[in-house]
Amino acid sequence: MARSKGRGSQEVNAGSMADIAFLLLIFFLVTTQIATNKGLTLLLPPKQEDDKPIEIKQQQRNIFKIQVNSADRLLVEEEPMDDVSQIRGMVYDFVLNFGAPSDVKRGAAKVSDKETYNSLPASMKAYINRNLGTKESSDGPSEAIVSVKADRGSSYEIFIQILDELNAAYNRIYGERVGLTDEEYRKLNKNDPRDKALYDKARSGIPKAISIAEPTKVGG
């Protein structure tokens, strides 16, 4: 019970407090994973059954064809093209063509092309009425398919550029439909119910139908 040291300082030494705080802060900084998971997503078609070859005749006008040869030259809708960035506008027009919108309800959401058209904002409708609606292009968004056929000898770089353009076209459509820019649309957080509702609204009736066709073995 000796109280000999009672006259010493009673305060806790707080000098290293800052260090401890730093340590904790840095610990959390380090353990937080920085998301580098960015890229272009693609959903592959389901596995082919050997006994049931899929024989769905698609109208030629509903397929937007992009072909790449082994020298990385493009053939878009049977026309040679030098500039990849033109694809964006062409695909935008192709998907939103509404050449012959049908009443048939399709897809998981059961939305017909006509309903899709009616749900578009006025500015997009005006654009479609003014410039699009030809019988030569797609019947409606639910029918429209973009097909990319890359030769085995073509480079991955050009493929990514094409895929990037296609995604840009679709994101622009989706974004415009709900009044966002394509960048804002891409940043929608699917875990937030309000963002998710916007996302679903933008996508309903307009499937992102990008098909990577089997390449030819011999390329010119």
Partner 1 sequence: MSKFKKKSESSQDIPTAALPDIIFMLLFFFMVTTVLRETEIKVEQKIPRAEQLVKLEKKKLVTYLYIGKPKDSSLGDEPLIQANDAFIGIDGIVQWVNQEKDKLSEVERDQITVSMKVDQETKMGIIVDVQTELREANARKIMYAAPTKTSDN
Residues that bind partner 1 (CB under 8 A): 18-19, 22-23, 26, 29-30, 33, 35, 37-48, 68, 150-157, 159-161, 163-164, 167-168, 171, 182, 186, 190-191, 212, 214-215
Asked if 201 contacts 194 with a C-beta cutoff of 8 angstroms, the reply is no
Which residues are CB-neighbours of 161 under 8 A, at least 6 positions away?
84
What are 17's two structure tokens?
């407090």
Query: Closest Cα to residue 95, out of 56, 143, 57, 129?
Result: 143
Q: Which is nearer to partner 1, 78 or 214 (CB)?
A: 214
Coil/strand/helix, residue 212: strand
Least Å distance between CB 158 and partner 1? 9
Q: Which is nearer to partner 1, 84 or 100 (CB)?
A: 84
Least Å distance between CB 194 and partner 1? 16
Question: How far is the C-alpha of 149 from the C-alpha of 147, rounded, in Å?
Answer: 6
Q: Which is nearer to partner 1, 11 or 136 (CB)?
A: 11
Least Å distance between CB 154 and partner 1? 5
